[in-house]
Chain A
């Protein structure tokens, strides 16, 4: 299943010769700490954390953005309102990430299929402008897990992480370390867990800031394991 990926500077600079890698491997903006594996077509870290507080680069997950009118038929079909997130029958996490805007997250490689499905949903409501965009490569996705996760967020984000305002299943966009970030509270096994979704180019920065903020709580990096959602 897995194979070690070539690391280090490319040997293909000006004047150099030799073959470049022939099978495209997708890379996250967040450099994976060793050991580096290729899983589901993505370069990922094989590291396994032992700490109770972990940070995982989930960028390989398929991400599709769906836009449809607020209060329209497509919105009703999706069944997830703005501000909330839930899994559908296929296990896709559907988050109401903005007014008339949904973020769909699924296992790596599912992007095109997800986009087709979303477009199909849209086409059932011809009076509505509904569009689906595969943003898998356009965004970084990070999972912060552990009971101290709220403490980490409180250092980089001004949103109240209490259950009154942001219970499990809450989806909201806000500034996290000064980067506009979609935050989804997606507890796993009864333990607090957050998905953080931002522009790809800010991913390395955001990951670094979360690691720094979590250092006082003993945060550790945990590698990505498919399907990962």
Chain B
């Protein structure tokens, strides 16, 4: 039977991950391509004989397979509307539309590859130097350069998704699901720990997956034991992208195929086991980026996992047993191995030659060998990202030619095993890992036991089942002997110039030039050349970069040190980071009525409130002439009980509270200790030791915390209970000349006459059949008004009853805008609108309220000093001389070329038919009758007169006292 999926497809391989029973078809640059389930996009293309998958960033050089893993710099492709897909990792799926990125007009004939001819001019720092002058031309440069950026394209039509996040709390998180990670997981679970095992590849096993028959048997055995452990949760195609203090770990779970591509798991692990294995390092020589130059692990993955023949005729440079194993794999796959250069015996390659792929290789002795494949196995890079994030500084070991963790700097809740910790046989590695897993479980158990002991939810519960949480398991530390470290030749840079950073097109020569220009440390050279700053973030490039800089500066690699790896370890979509944004919204019980009656919503903090239903001016006029009703549920309400409530009120408010009688209500203002106005509202006394405090809507939470802070930290001996009851009550203000007539119709048990229930009093009673309602007689609007607080579940019922029973009285609902007009007519200031973060009490018209003869109250010293020196602006009522002009809020008041104040509130008054304002002005301009100059945003100057008082309507307050 012929192979339908391509000329390079091999017969069945022992460890292959493709399902030959499930063929699939997708398109590559518009042409159909066949593969099998289990193929990556690039393995399917390679099976079909494709060698070039992208063009490089700067020089537009053709690029092919290098690592055959997620971290393959040449294999980024566009899939549908998703850019920058890692093609050597992403599994192929039927119907995928795959295109190459950064190519024009096509991948084969890329016009921009002329960059390559002029490459010697595009040296390090070229962009910085060339496009800086003349400065004004940068926008033009930028628009051209943008087209040369090698990202994919983002579609504006991509559906918007809200990726989910979740939290996880494993005892032990194991980063890396190779043999070491699996062995650690098994032993940790056997010790009773809950384990999250996170593996970047599509399956567990690490290098065993593309290994020998014995490796595959070992993998099957380990995988079986992992699967049999109920305490182990396995995540494949997932990566630990970051570690923060206390093992806060961000785990990225990829979920391909759905609208939700990635999900973030916010993990708080008690211990972390770092077992990511090793990343094979490329070699630097001329032509090292040509399609057909591959790492030994890449050819082993292609052959053993995907049954793809990587080439026809190969040259192999090997310095280690993995390279030797690749040679055996190549031979078995029918690839002619034309030459083996053994670096351990002095072998080397000096150049790969070709235009769109390798056609020949020149080896150390000068021989030129025709071939289409060059395989290198020159050593390993330890991916120490999570160790860096744990405060570790990896140390270079020249004997092994790689960096190792510095055990002395690792925190106690981070452990290391596997290839990153050392070498050795599979048995040695898994033994080490098993011991590390047991120790990780033991340490997790100690941490868990401490947390359980500190947590009250655990108390009096059933005794813990045996496990780490119970503090059982081995009592003493189990630390295995260190893994052996095998010698490896130090092979970084060959004799010729080649690429160090494939993603950024940075060559060894560029780095040497950077050092010559004075950027003589790894960190500086990195920033100047952008080496290690591309999509791979140094996974392939870091150590070679350090080696070049070390050689150029004459320092050792150990002395040069690595650049620091910072999170995230791999790219993460912004959607996954953002996740489902929790934005709580709050509604009043009357919200269904507002919606049904066309209320225009106003977003006020978390609250959704009706701004207006129709014309706000008409709504305001109706309050003055008949009666209106407004939903004021968001007004903050605090239930205060206890013998020391008066002391608390005296402390928090600037005015006096000792003699408030039962049934009485008083207005109060709070300042902070810097004397700045914090909040205002009224407080009523319902019973002997029972008060109800109201706050501004936006200040409800602040005042509650403010009061608790003073109680808990300054006066813990005071006996006061504060309970927030803001939304226990539906609150509505009934205001207007007809208010009493309406309230009388629905209220039982309260004498509403002005004599029995005068202004600034509070009563409780039954409204519309609902018990336990609270009625305040107060007047923010300046009219006769009753503020009703009814148990919230009945709010809609009472609201509807009032509107029904008030129909003949001309009742109309009004919104926040009409209320703002009414209060401005009345000259009532709003904290945060007519005051700001610098407005002290005497700047808010509060001379009458501030009682400096009280023993102490919050803000008293500053207010006393302000009273003494008369400093700060003053709040005044302002009347534009041209009565038709409404100066915008924040219009400036100017005086002799200086700013002397500002308009804080302004409206056209429907009651007076003229403009009205409140303003903050310098104290010397605050005298009634003073004419000031207001500068409108247009620049026009108008005259305005300071009023004798803040109120424009009914300054004597007769209307609300009737």
Residues of A at the B interface (CB closer than 8 Å) are: 8-10, 12-29, 31, 42, 59, 65, 67, 81-84, 96, 129, 131, 133, 135-139, 151, 154-172, 177-179, 199-202, 204-206, 209, 212-213, 216
Q: A27-B796, A205-B584 are in contact. List 17 more A-B contacts (CB 8 A).
A: A13-B803, A25-B797, A26-B791, A31-B592, A81-B459, A84-B456, A129-B642, A133-B725, A138-B792, A157-B167, A158-B167, A158-B266, A160-B268, A163-B465, A164-B469, A168-B461, A202-B606
Instruction: List residues of B whose CB falls within 8 A of some A CB.
Output: 164-169, 194, 266, 268, 448, 451-452, 455-462, 464-465, 467, 469, 580, 582-589, 592-593, 596-597, 606-607, 633, 639, 641-643, 719-721, 723-729, 768-770, 791-797, 800-801, 803-805, 807, 811-813
Find A84's partner among B457, B580, B607, B727 (CB 8 Å cutoff): B457
Q: Which residue of A lies closest to B467 (CB)?
A: A164
A204 proximity list for chain B (CB < 8 A): 587
CA distance A17 to B807 in the complex (A): 7
Complex Cα distance A83/B460, Å? 10
Chain B residues whose C-beta falls within 8 Å of the C-beta of A171 in the assembled complex:
457
CB distance from B664 to the nearest CB of A (A): 21
A-B pairs, 6 with minimum CB distance = A83-B456, A138-B728, A9-B596, A26-B793, A164-B469, A170-B457
Q: Provide the residues of chain A in CB contact with B723, threshold 8 Å.
A: 65, 67, 131, 133, 135
A/B interface sample: 12 pairs, CB < 8 A: A10-B800, A12-B807, A20-B797, A20-B800, A131-B641, A131-B721, A151-B166, A155-B580, A156-B582, A160-B268, A165-B452, A169-B461
**Alpha-carbon distance A13/B493, docked complex (angstroms):** 83
CA distance A96 to B639 in the complex (A): 20
Whether A129 and B589, one on each chain, are in contact in the complex, defined by CB atoms closer than 8 angstroms, is: no
B461 contacts A84, CB within 8 Å?
Answer: yes
Q: Are A10 and B593 in contact (CB under 8 A)?
A: yes
Determine the distance from Cα of A144 to Cα of B459 in the docked complex, in whole angstroms.
23
Q: Are B797 and A24 in contact, with the CB atoms below 8 A? A: yes
Contacts of B165 in A (CB 8 A): 155
Residue on A nearest B165 in the bound complex, by CB: A155
Q: Contact: A28 with B641, CB < 8 Å?
A: no
Asked if A15 and B807 make an inter-chain contact with CB atoms under 8 angstroms apart, the answer reads yes
Q: Which chain A residues lie closer than 8 Å to B164 at the CB level?
A: 155, 213, 216
B804 and A12 form a contact (CB under 8 A): yes
> B455 contacts A29, CB within 8 Å?
no
B457 to A167, Cβ gap below 8 A?
Answer: yes
From the candidates A14, A23, A25, A129, name the one contacting B721 in the complex (CB within 8 A). A129
- Chain B, residue nearest A130 (CB): B721
Q: Which B residues lie within 8 Å of A24 (CB)?
A: 768-770, 794, 797
Whole-angstrom distance between the Cβ of B396 and the nearest chain A Cβ: 39
Contact of A136 among B469, B582, B793, B803 (CB under 8 A): B793
Q: How far is the CB of A192 from chain B (nearest CB, A)?
A: 15
Note all chain A residues with C-beta closer than 8 A to B586. Answer: 199, 201-202, 205
Partner of A14, one of B448, B465, B592, B803: B803
A residues less than 8 Å from B596 (CB atoms): 8-10, 13
A70 CB to closest chain B CB, in angstroms?
11
B455 close to A165 (CB less than 8 A) = yes
Which chain A residue shows the least CB distance to B730? A137
Provide the bound-state CA to CA distance between A18 and B805, in Å.
9
Given A22-B769, A164-B464, also A83-B457 (CB < 8 A): yes
Q: Which of A15, A31, A168 has the most CB of B within 10 A?
A: A15
User: A16 and B804 in contact (CB under 8 A), knowing A21-B797, A65-B723, A81-B459?
Assistant: yes
- Distance of A80 from chain B, by nearest CB (Å): 9
With both beta carbons as reference points, the residue of chain A lying nearest to B641 in the complex is identified as A131
**Do residues B166 and A154 form an inter-chain contact, with CB atoms below 8 A?**
yes
CA A130 to CA B588, docked complex, whole Å: 30
Chain A CB within 10 A, most for which of B458, B469, B585: B458
Within 8 Å CB of B580, what residues of A?
A: 155, 212
Query: B587 near A27 (CB under 8 angstroms)?
Result: no
List B contacts of A67 (CB < 8 A): 721, 723
Closest Cβ of chain A to B297, distance in Å, is: 36
The reply to whether B582 and A177 contact each other, CB–CB distance below 8 Å, is yes
Whether the pair B169, A162 counts as a contact (CB closer than 8 A) is yes
Contacts of A13 in B (CB 8 A): 596-597, 803, 813
Nearest B residue to A159, CB-CB:
B167
- On whether the beta carbons of B461 and A167 are closer than 8 Å, the reply is yes
Residues of chain A lying within 8 A (CB to CB) of residue B726: 138, 199, 201
Question: How far, in whole Å, are A84 and B459 apart by their CA atoms in the complex?
Answer: 7
B774 to chain A minimum Cβ distance, whole angstroms, is 12
| Contact call A133/B584, Cβ cutoff below 8 A | no
Contact B589 A29 (CB under 8 A): yes
Give complex CA distance A81, B461 in Å. Answer: 11
Contact present for A172 and B457 (CB under 8 Å) = yes
How near does chain B come to A136, taking the closest CB pair, in angstroms? Answer: 7
Known A-B contacts A12-B803, A19-B804, A20-B800; the reply to A138 vs B727 at CB < 8 A is yes
CB distance from A193 to the nearest CB of B (A): 16
List, in ascending order, chain A residues with CB within 8 A of B642's CB: 129, 131
A20 to chain B, nearest CB (A): 4
With a cutoff of 8 Å between Cβ atoms, the chain A residues found around residue B729 in the complex are: 137-138
Is B587 a contact partner of A201 (Cβ separation < 8 A)?
A: yes
* Complexed CA–CA distance, A82 and B592 (Å): 38
Query: What A residues does B268 contact at CB under 8 A?
Result: 158, 160
**Are A200 and B727 neighbours in the complex by a CB distance under 8 Å?**
yes
A137 interface neighbour in B464, B643, B792, B813, Cβ under 8 Å: B792
CB distance from A102 to the nearest CB of B (A): 12
Q: In the complex, which residues of chain B have a beta carbon less than 8 angstroms from the beta carbon of A209? A: 582
Q: Report B-chain residues with C-beta under 8 Å of the C-beta of A151.
A: 166
**Alpha-carbon distance between A131 and B686 when the two chains are bound, in angstroms:** 15
- Docked CA distance A82–B458 (Å): 10
Q: Which residues of B contact A162 (CB under 8 A)?
A: 169, 194, 469
Q: A18-B804, A138-B725, A162-B194 are in contact. Are A81 and B460 (CB under 8 A)?
A: yes
Complex Cα distance, B606 from A212, in Å, reads 20
Beta-carbon contact of B459 and A83 below 8 Å: yes
The residues of B that contact A17 with a CB separation of less than 8 Å are 804, 807
Most buried by A among B194, B584, B805: B584
A residues within 8 A CB of B585? 202, 205
Q: List residues of chain B with CB within 8 A of the CB of A16.
A: 803-804, 807
Pick the residue among A20, A160, A216 that contacts B801 (CB under 8 A).
A20
Closest partner residue, chain A, to B260 (CB atom):
A216
B597 nearest in chain A by CB position:
A13
Are B458 and A14 in contact, CB atoms less than 8 angstroms apart? no
Residues of the A chain whose Cβ atoms lie less than 8 Å from the Cβ of B464 = 164
Assembly CA distance A20 to B456 (angstroms): 49
Smallest Cβ distance from A229 to chain B, in angstroms?
17
Q: How far does the alpha carbon of A20 sit from the alpha carbon of B768 in the complex, in Å?
A: 10
Complex: how many Å from CA A129 to CA B268?
A: 40
Chain A residues, CB < 8 A from B266? 158
Q: How far is the CB of A182 from chain B (nearest CB, A)?
A: 12
Complex CA distance for A179 and B455, rounded to whole angstroms: 21
Cα distance, A137 to B580, chains bound together (Å): 30
CA distance A145 to B643 in the complex (A): 43
Q: Which of A12, A28, A155, A158 contacts B800 (CB 8 A)?
A: A12
What's the nearest-Cβ distance from chain B to residue A194, in Å?
Answer: 12
Q: Which residue of B lies closest to A183 (CB)?
A: B457
Q: List, in ascending order, chain B residues with CB within 8 A of A168's CB.
A: 461
**Inter-subunit contact B587/A165 (CB<8 Å):** no
CB neighbours (8 Å) of A26 from chain B are 791, 793-794
Known A-B contacts A22-B769, A29-B589, A154-B168; the reply to A135 vs B725 at CB < 8 A is: yes
| Closest-CB distance, B695 to chain A (whole angstroms) | 15
B793 is contacted by which of A14, A27, A157, A165 (Cβ under 8 Å)?
A: A27
Do B589 and A178 touch across chains, with their CB atoms under 8 A apart?
no
List residues of chain A with CB within 8 A of the CB of B456. Answer: 81-84, 96, 172
Beta-carbon nearest neighbor of B168 in chain A = A154
Q: A12-B800, A158-B266, A178-B583 are in contact. Are A201 and B727 (CB under 8 A)?
A: yes
Expressed in whole angstroms, the Cα–Cα distance for A187 and B596 within the complex equals 40
A158, closest chain B residue (CB): B167
B residues near A216, Cβ cutoff 8 Å: 164
